[in-house]
Structure 1
Amino acid sequence: MIESTDINVEYCEEERLTCVLVLDTFNIYINEIVSHISLPLCLWPINGRPLLDYTIHTLIQSNIQEIILLATSYSNEICSYIMNSQWLRTYSKFIKLIPYEEARSLGDCLRNLEKENIINHNFLLLYGNGTLLTSEKLNTLFSVHNENIRQDRNCIMTLVYRQLNSNHFEHPSYTDDQHVFVLRDNNTHRVYVYSNEYLDKYQISLDLFKQPNITMEILYCPLDCRLAICSPDVLHLFQDNFDFLTINEFVQGVLFEAKITGHTIYSHLYETGYFLSVHNLRLYMKGTFDILRRWSYPLVPEIISSMDKQLFSIVTTLVSSQIKLNDSDVSFYNISYPIIYDKHNIYKQGDIKLDRLSNIEQDVFIGHNSQILSGVYLRRSCIGQNCIIGKNTQIINSILWNHVQIGENCIIKNSIICNNVLIRNNVQIDKECMLCENVIIGTNVHLNQRMIIIASNFITSTGIIDEIEIIKNDDISISSENVKCSNSKQRSNSTSSSEKFINSSNEEIIVSNSDLVGIDGFGKELIFNSVHDGQAENFEDTDNDEDDDSDDDDKNQLNAFDAWGYRIERRENRGSSVISDDDFQEEVIRTLKRAYKKNLKPNNIIDELNILKPTYNVSPTEFEQSIIRAIFLLPLENQIANPEQLNYWNTLKLTMDKISQTILKNYMKITNEQAQMLLLNEIDLICLEYIQLIGVYIANILMYLYDNDVIDEQWILKWYENKQEKIKNNQLIIKLEEEIYYDKLKQFVEWLQNAESDV
């Protein structure tokens, strides 16, 4: 039963327990994903409810008497959620929504809040998306902060952490963007040194250890709850210091000026209890599965649903006629279905159709009006409302939103599938992929890990997608035929180009990459507009304004982590960069880029490459491998940075005609068997690594190299025979997604053999 809390009682201002939620991660990569979903991260669904619901329920149970929501972008959607979920109607004096659409950092939000002049007492601050999943009551933190102030009147903030019981790098709740080093007094818990930099060594002044009655302890990578108890002075300091953009900068600034201003900061470490701040995609998925496994009890689906029944009446009309909701989001806001909790942590919401031959293993949520056909295997996954899962499909550690349709014999692992997505038959989606709204994945497509697929460059209206393809969910029978859909008119008339261009009524051009999503698919990979150091660069020269250097530094500091929470500087083969992090490889890349841009003569480039070899002390084989990978991967990087320009093969051909074939001829002598085999093996590895992007062009690549005397037919045939021998002896197993590559390779070799016999 829900505890009765009289939170509408008038309180004295100094007694009011206030919590401020900053509903934005201020991560450009997450916000760019959000722009293709039109739903901010704080409203993403977790087991049938918006993420923010869980945080507000926790605050209610913690007897918090005032919640202030600071909304930046998508404030209309957040306002719609609040009003239509009946929070404001039930607690009219409980929640305040303050939009700050111009805010670009946490510091901007708190400076604007200071101008409102509505807080003159201690308050909880939830930052980093403003969504915290916890099993603990948070009102006790006010007592902790008050005790710190009683001992030290200069205390203005208490940071909250959770102790990790295992190695932090291996702990599933830890992501790179939570790295923090804290040196504090073991007795009073006052913080003396604070750093969020990822360093092997931290320098600590010996003067700290000379202070009397102080025993220092180190908190290395505790779980950052993105939670702090603040005094009103915190807002004043943000107002006076415009350099403070983040909490990290604020804490470091206060500690640096401690001797001058006298302000101090303390910390509080929870030894037990469940805490998870959801501010990136990995933590969003972990929070979903933790709730399914009931680690966050009492924050579990059936209890949240029962609370709704006690707190609210079910609403079927909008509170405000000026606020319109997307059909796929209505269930988040104002429709509550009963949830049945079954053994093995199986949750069934409302009416579902479950085939008796399906296998629902454990930790699974199935939303209202969803259909699970025969042979389906589900484990640790969340299925939204009005979804159809085709026969013999496996879904593991994945989240499906509403109105998702998946064909037969598909495999989906560790991925997020948003509203109104169609996945056709025999599709495989690897871990940490995300399909945004209205994407269609074609038959027999294999998506490699950590790919984000969008339906257009802009937020796409329902009408445009309806024109392309739409499957009505009204009166759906359990027959699998409903999963199979005919191609749209646009597809049937498509050309052989790898990209489809579709004009909408408002003259917006939508681009689809058929190399990636299939000829019967619709979508393309999301390439972030904001490029961080280490990510792909365009071949074209750009004019850099030196006056913007400081702004760029601030952006890089705010966005040093990608949407999954990985540190960008040490990513390997992720996102838009496809080039190795090896120093020599990078130097070869830079040399070739400069050659392409400035139209340098091939002989000059060869001389430069030869000079690099002794400088980096690489072996001859490593030297040649780096050159081959640079030549064949650079066009792919250019295509990723400019997806609306030429496809990979056309880009590669341009670079080959210009410089690359001369470089290959110099190092891969056509009479040298070892060099020729190395060239073929490296091309083979690259094609298998990027089958959909490069591997499908293997016939074009070999034909070009053969026609231009870069490689001889005898080496191609010998290399191919060796591969076939390995396949025959089961030394080489062809995967399902590799069949298209080997088919095209076989076609080229058969043509080559026939051409040789004709001669």
Structure 2
Amino acid sequence: MSSKVVKKGGKKWNPEDVIQAVVIADSFNFRFLPLTTEKPRALLPLVNRPLIDYTVEFLAVSGIEEVFIYCCAHADAIKKHFNQSRWSKQSSPIKLHIIMSENCPSVGDALRDIDSQACIKSDFVLVSGDLVSNMELQEVIKKHKKLRETDKMTVMTNVYKKAAPGHRTRSKEDDILIATSSSSGRLLFCEKPIGKKKISVPTDIFEENEEIDIHYDVLDCHISVCSPNVPQLFSDNFDYQTRYHFIRGIIVNEEVLGNYIYAHFISDQYAARVSNLQTYEAVSKDVMYRWVYPLVPDNSILEPYSYGRHNLYLSSGISLAFDCVLEEDVVLGPDTTVGASTVISHSSIGQRCNIGKGVTISGCYIWDDVTIGDSCKLSNSIIASNVEFKDGVIVEPGCIISFNVVVGQDFRVVSGTRLTTSKNSLSFDTDDWGDETDRDAEQALPITMPECVDSDVGCGGKGFKWDPPQPDSDDESGRFIHEKWHPHITSGNISQESSSDSNGTRSPSPLPLTTELDDAEDSFYAETLDCVRSGVTDSVKPENTILMINASKHAYNIPIQEVPLNVMKALLEGPSESTEGKKPVLIEYIIKSLRYHKTLLLHYVKGNDLQASVLNLVTSSAMKEYAIRPIFAKIVLELYNLDVLDESTILSWHSQFKGTRASKEQQEILKSVAPVIEWLENAEEESEEEN
């Protein structure tokens, strides 16, 4: 049937020219439980704004005119949210449709349902409802249309962002390896390496293409520009349960069906999914650091914030005690009260929160109507709406406190705890529309929730500890149910460093300390340690060692300022065999290694800042490792003799270090290094006299 063409404003207008988008608002896993038993992931607040609002705003800014929101779990809540939003008004730049389904178990079924309703009239954009992006979408749409003009069998163009393994917005379950044609950009191979030690790429790909590019340094943004026949292709093949199934099926059956998928790469634009707790934290920080501009708090139409130095976002109606401290990277929602002597840093706090006196909050994401009593200490956790903390509560890193929980006075919530009041243990937070491992998530067995007990929430508390359900031994979804969150722990005592993004830009983020090293950092250090040790034992030339470390740095996307710290840490670790109880052996090895790797150290340790960082690392090692403490002075003196550390750096460090409250370990270090400091000071005085 031909499309109906009408005149509009004197010009011919074709319904097929309307740019449409489909947003999958549901998820298909348990990664945000127990939060998503009461609220869908799409409505969870990200820096005081529902997550799906970022997605719709991105589509509206990109010129999308008609959007279909497909939702299943908590569909009524999502519909109510949009009915009350500015998108439902006549002045809205987009036409919004809510499609509700009670029995949709996968993305494939959602698109089959959309196909049955004949909603799609033209090329459309397929995205997830947890997407945050500011990329130029029109560029991809134009590219897809141009590809279709030259090749009618083009069915999809996917967006991939350059992001090395270990990148903060790249989650392990979304790791992907793809191969594309160097000349055309056509997708030739796609596979997820999760649970695999190696991946085999078919040889015919190399035989049939003159040049190909293999990428493991990309993040699948889950942004796809699709041809109108994509829903029909899902309807024709019920094996397509996920977007990943579809991509794999098209590539494998390309010779039979003749359909093609293309890749579009971005590097200096932002696009990331909030697919788990790790990426929730990462994207929240990126919003506060303004990487997603214009999608920042002070640019919000509904609830604008004032923006100040050090990334402070303050809304209207807030009340701040005269001596409270907002350090940096802080968002305060409307009508929130902060008490005297309270310190807040690297945190987002919602509206109508009441924070008492002497409270310390660092790295937390606190939602609406939360009450925090006096002298509480909260660190690197998610606190849902209507939570109450009595006086003196301590929340350790990695906790999730779900809705309406009350924690009793002076109670300590240990790291990694999840507390809830909901008896609905398994609501279908149905998301990750790309992982076949999540398909059977709804089959997990329900569990009996206990009554509130003091041992979980303290005396007078309300709620209980939530433990993930135990799936069958052969249920692959268990890998995600037991997923641990290791937040980046921020500290006011840590010096501020710039971290590098995947595209080489510098982020004004605080230097993170992690409870567990990222895989990329872990692998880089392991290779650095091997280079340092083999350099001494196998007499490898320092220039070759530098080349190997540089190659690892680029492979794992390690910031340059982290390299000398890893090198120094490796030098202090000692030989591969144990030196416990063998002080002379350890001293001999470290001094020999420092002298052998003088060229290596001088190559990386340049400038006073890096010198200070290296000396602080040696100090930290001596504080933690008893074996290093007695030889601390010898190491410092050797680094001075090798010209790695300047006299001024050592004396400045000593002046600051002795001015802190001295612990037993500090006293031992100061005593050990005293002769070196005295010698340096005397040498400095003699030099001044000579001058």
TM-score by length of 2: 0.63
Distance 1:255 1:73, change over 3 A: same
Matched, 1:421 2:387: yes
Instruction: Tell me, in whole angstroms, the C-alpha distance in 2 between the residues paired with 1:532 and 1:450.
Output: 23
Instruction: Tell me, in whole angstroms, the C-alpha distance in 1 between the residues paired with 2:139 and 2:485.
Output: 32
Aligned match of 1:439: 405
Aligned match of 2:64: 64
Instruction: Tell me, in whole angstroms, the C-alpha distance in 2 between the residues paired with 1:730 and 1:513.
Output: 40
Distance 1:530 1:13, change over 3 A: farther
Give the aligned length: 461
Matched, 1:34 2:36: yes
Q: 1:416, CA displacement in angstroms?
A: 0.8
Whether contact under 8 Å (1:402, 1:420) holds in the other structure is yes
The one-character-per-residue Cα deviations of 1:715-743 (angstroms, maximum 9, x if unpaired) are xxxxxxxxxxxxxx979xxxxxxxxxxxx
Matched, 1:189 2:129: no
Instruction: Tell me, in whole angstroms, the C-alpha distance in 1 between the residues paired with 2:54 and 2:250.
Output: 32
Residue type matched to 1:355 in 2?
Answer: A
Q: 1:10, CA displacement in angstroms?
A: 9.9
Aligned match of 1:131: 130
Q: 1:70, CA displacement in angstroms?
A: 0.3
Aligned match of 2:152: 153
Instruction: Tell me, in whole angstroms, the C-alpha distance in 2 between the residues paired with 1:510 and 1:250.
Output: 42
1:556-571 mapped onto 2 (5 Å cutoff): 562=483
CA RMSD of aligned residues (A): 2.9
Aligned match of 1:19: 21
Q: 1:297, CA displacement in angstroms?
A: 0.9
* SS of residue matched to 1:207: helix
Whether contact under 8 Å (1:176, 1:561) holds in the other structure is no
TM-score by length of 1: 0.57
* SS of residue matched to 2:179: strand
1:137-536 mapped onto 2 (5 Å cutoff): 137-164=136-163, 167-169=164-166, 171-198=167-194, 199-212=196-209, 214-305=210-301, 308=302, 336=303, 338-458=304-424, 511-529=451-469, 531=471, 533=473
Instruction: Tell me, in whole angstroms, the C-alpha distance in 1 between the residues paired with 2:217 and 2:395.
Output: 32
Q: 1:147, CA displacement in angstroms?
A: 2.5
Q: 1:352, CA displacement in angstroms?
A: 0.8
The one-character-per-residue Cα deviations of 1:10-53 (angstroms, maximum 9, x if unpaired) are 95222111111000121134365311xx2211112233322222
Q: 1:392, CA displacement in angstroms?
A: 1.9
Aligned match of 1:86: 86
Instruction: Tell me, in whole angstroms, the C-alpha distance in 2 between the residues paired with 1:10 and 1:19.
Output: 23
Whether contact under 8 Å (1:61, 1:137) holds in the other structure is no
Instruction: Tell me, in whole angstroms, the C-alpha distance in 2 between the residues paired with 1:67 and 1:11.
Output: 19
Instruction: Tell me, in whole angstroms, the C-alpha distance in 2 between the residues paired with 1:11 and 1:175.
Output: 43
Instruction: Tell me, in whole angstroms, the C-alpha distance in 2 between the residues paired with 1:440 and 1:402.
Output: 14
Unmatched tracts of structure 1, length 5 or more: 1-5, 309-335, 461-507, 534-548, 567-571, 574-728, 732-759
Instruction: Tell me, in whole angstroms, the C-alpha distance in 2 between the residues paired with 1:83 and 1:396.
Output: 35
Q: 1:510, CA displacement in angstroms?
A: 6.6
Instruction: Tell me, in whole angstroms, the C-alpha distance in 1 between the residues paired with 2:339 and 2:89.
Output: 41
Whether contact under 8 Å (1:160, 1:225) holds in the other structure is yes
1:575-654 mapped onto 2 (5 Å cutoff): none
Residue type matched to 1:40 in 2?
Answer: P
Instruction: Tell me, in whole angstroms, the C-alpha distance in 2 between the residues paired with 1:191 and 1:560.
Output: 32
Residue type matched to 1:276 in 2?
Answer: A
Instruction: Tell me, in whole angstroms, the C-alpha distance in 1 between the residues paired with 2:326 and 2:78.
Output: 34
Whether contact under 8 Å (2:60, 2:93) holds in the other structure is no
Whether contact under 8 Å (2:134, 2:292) holds in the other structure is yes
Instruction: Tell me, in whole angstroms, the C-alpha distance in 2 between the residues paired with 1:513 and 1:289.
Output: 35
Distance 1:92 1:136, change over 3 A: closer
Q: 1:116, CA displacement in angstroms?
A: 0.6
Instruction: Tell me, in whole angstroms, the C-alpha distance in 1 between the residues paired with 2:486 and 2:379.
Output: 18
* SS of residue matched to 1:30: coil
Distance 1:565 1:441, change over 3 A: closer
1:673-692 mapped onto 2 (5 Å cutoff): none
Instruction: Tell me, in whole angstroms, the C-alpha distance in 2 between the residues paired with 1:730 and 1:439.
Output: 41
Aligned match of 1:748: none
Of residues 48-57 and 397-406 in structure 1, the stretch that sits farther from structure 2 once superposed is 48-57
Residue type matched to 1:176 in 2?
Answer: K
Distance 1:89 1:386, change over 3 A: same
Q: Which has the higher contact order (CA 8 A, sep 6+)?
A: 2
The one-character-per-residue Cα deviations of 1:400-424 (angstroms, maximum 9, x if unpaired) are 1111111222221221101110112
Q: 1:277, CA displacement in angstroms?
A: 1.4
* SS of residue matched to 2:451: strand
Whether contact under 8 Å (1:398, 1:416) holds in the other structure is yes
Instruction: Tell me, in whole angstroms, the C-alpha distance in 2 between the residues paired with 1:416 and 1:144.
Output: 40
Instruction: Tell me, in whole angstroms, the C-alpha distance in 2 between the residues paired with 1:154 and 1:560.
Output: 39
The one-character-per-residue Cα deviations of 1:241-271 (angstroms, maximum 9, x if unpaired) are 2222111111112212111111121111102
Instruction: Tell me, in whole angstroms, the C-alpha distance in 2 between the residues paired with 1:530 and 1:160.
Output: 36
Distance 1:135 1:249, change over 3 A: same
Aligned match of 1:113: 114
Aligned match of 2:490: none
Q: 1:528, CA displacement in angstroms?
A: 2.8
Instruction: Tell me, in whole angstroms, the C-alpha distance in 2 between the residues paired with 1:560 and 1:259.
Output: 38
